[in-house]
Amino acid sequence: MNLLVTGGAGFIGANFVYSQRQQHPQDRIVILDALTYAGNLSTLDALSTDPAVRFVRGDICDAALVAALLRDEHIDAIVHFAAESHVDRSILGPMDFVRTNVVGTATLLEAARAAKIARFLHVSTDEVYGSLEPNDPAFSETHPIQPRSPYSASKAASDHLVLSYFHTYGFPVLLTRCSNNYGPYQFPEKLIPLMVLNAFANQPLPVYGDGMNVRDWIHVSDHCAGLDAVLRRGRIGEVYNLGGMAERPNLDIVRAILALTGRDESLIRYVTDRPGHDRRYAIDCSKAMNELGWTPRVSLEQGLRDTVRWYRENEAWWQRIRSGEYRTWFERNYAARLDTGSGSPAATAKHSGASCA
């Protein structure tokens, strides 16, 4: 199979590419990523000499580039991660979210339909279901779509578009909605890596509101295993929830990180709450478990231990982010290799990427 992975230089996309190379070494992978602030090519460094992986810098909103890639690379299936993914940024500037998450997904769908792609897996989030009260049952796949942040609204719009392509055109889509991920290579703006790095540096840990907002946490390796199961065995046109079966208030996560890093609670700072902050997410993933034989395997306790250790052992990776140096990694290590011929998708990508970042 020839796979196109969009957003493969981001957190979950890169973990997915690594896991696919392990589990399906016969497949070829083309990564399409615009390298926004969240894209980090040094994350993929271990694959830079792998002949079965090709990296193309480009924007999913670039219809000509996407069409050329699907044709020239003989793509069979698409796994679509590329998105603006951080709620706080969506509150500060919603338009980037509309552009990439809605227009970008629509652009990709149109190109994929024209190219008669065999499977289109759209990677979405439990946040499209809205917010739960403490005693509400967990989200099932039939829960109403009630997004409440610009991020989740833009993802909900993309979910609707994806499903409309199945109902209207019979286009072979699959859709997953997953809970909060954590693990290696997560950009340190999200709760867990931010708290880990601040604790390492003895800096304050900013807890929004009363710290009692609840999330379900899944290790990224379990998410990637679920995506693999849906991609290869899922029923076309279906939605599959994926989760870690580990609901915790934020304060429990922060305290666990303080314990794992040997810091005390004096580092906790209660700060002004996020506007419209969703109170609780909880996900019922029994459909994926029963139909696909998938199950999350990493306990939150083990996963947090491993994650803290990963950030401790990979300081060079996150120091490049904190210093901003990772933004020039592409130019220093890859751009010269891509700039090989006019009109090739890679060359096109180099130009279109510039307008997206």
Where in the sequence numbering do the catalytic residues fall? 126-127, 151
Q: Tell me how far, at minimum, the Cβ of 140 lies from ligand TYD, in Å.
A: 19
Residue closer to ligand TYD by CB (options 194, 259) is 194
Establish if 10 lies at the interface with ligand NAD (CB under 6 A).
yes
Query: Per the structure block, which two tokens stand in for 162?
Result: 């994806």
165 interface partner picked from ligand TYD, ligand NAD, none, CB below 5 to 8 A per type: none
Query: Per the structure block, which two tokens stand in for 311?
Result: 């950030």
Among 215, 248, 280, 350, binds ligand TYD (CB under 6 A): 215
Establish if 356 lies at the interface with ligand NAD (CB under 6 A).
yes
100 interface partner picked from ligand NAD, ligand TYD, none, CB below 5 to 8 A per type: ligand NAD
Residues 6+ apart with CB under 8 A from 122: 80, 105, 158, 159, 162, 173, 174, 175, 176
Establish if 59 lies at the interface with ligand NAD (CB under 6 A).
yes
Pairing status of strand 119-125 against strand 2-6: unpaired
Question: For 230-333, where are the E strands, in sequence order?
Answer: 239-242, 247-249, 268-271
Residue closer to ligand TYD by CB (options 274, 327) is 274
Establish if 345 lies at the interface with ligand NAD (CB under 6 A).
no
353 interface partner picked from ligand NAD, ligand TYD, none, CB below 5 to 8 A per type: none
CA nearest neighbour of 316 among 308, 326, 306? 326
Q: Tell me how far, at minimum, the Cβ of 228 lies from ligand TYD, in Å.
A: 23
Among 3, 4, 5, 38, binds ligand NAD (CB under 6 A): 38
Q: What is the DSSP string of 58-87?
A: --TT-HHHHHHHHHHTT--EEEE--S---H
Establish if 226 lies at the interface with ligand NAD (CB under 6 A).
no
Query: Per the structure block, which two tokens stand in for 95?
Result: 């338009």
Measured between alpha carbons, how far is residue 191 from residues 188, 252, 262, 351 in Å? 8, 12, 18, 34
φ/ψ of 341, rounded to 5, equals -170, 140
Residue closer to ligand NAD by CB (options 69, 83) is 83
In the window 151-180, what residues touch ligand TYD (CB under 6 A)?
180
Amino acid found at 349: A
Residues 6+ apart with CB under 8 A from 185: 11, 14, 15, 40, 43, 317
Among 4, 18, 30, 36, binds ligand NAD (CB under 6 A): 36
Which range of residues in 31-39, 258-266, 268-276, 344-352 is near ligand NAD by CB under 6 A?
31-39
Residues 314-333: x/- map of binding to ligand TYD (CB under 6 A)? --------------------
Among 100, 213, 307, 352, binds ligand TYD (CB under 6 A): 213
248 interface partner picked from ligand TYD, ligand NAD, none, CB below 5 to 8 A per type: none
Among 5, 199, 207, 321, binds ligand TYD (CB under 6 A): 207
Contacts for 258-266: CB closer than 8 Å, 24+ residues apart: 258/199, 258/205, 260/304, 260/305, 260/308, 261/196, 261/199, 261/200, 261/308, 263/199, 263/202
Pairing status of strand 77-80 against strand 214-219: unpaired
Q: How far apart are CA 186 and CA 12, in angstroms?
A: 8
Establish if 208 lies at the interface with ligand TYD (CB under 6 A).
yes
Establish if 198 lies at the interface with ligand TYD (CB under 6 A).
no
Chain contacts with ligand TYD (rule: CB under 6 A): 87, 180, 190-191, 194, 206-208, 213, 215, 250, 274
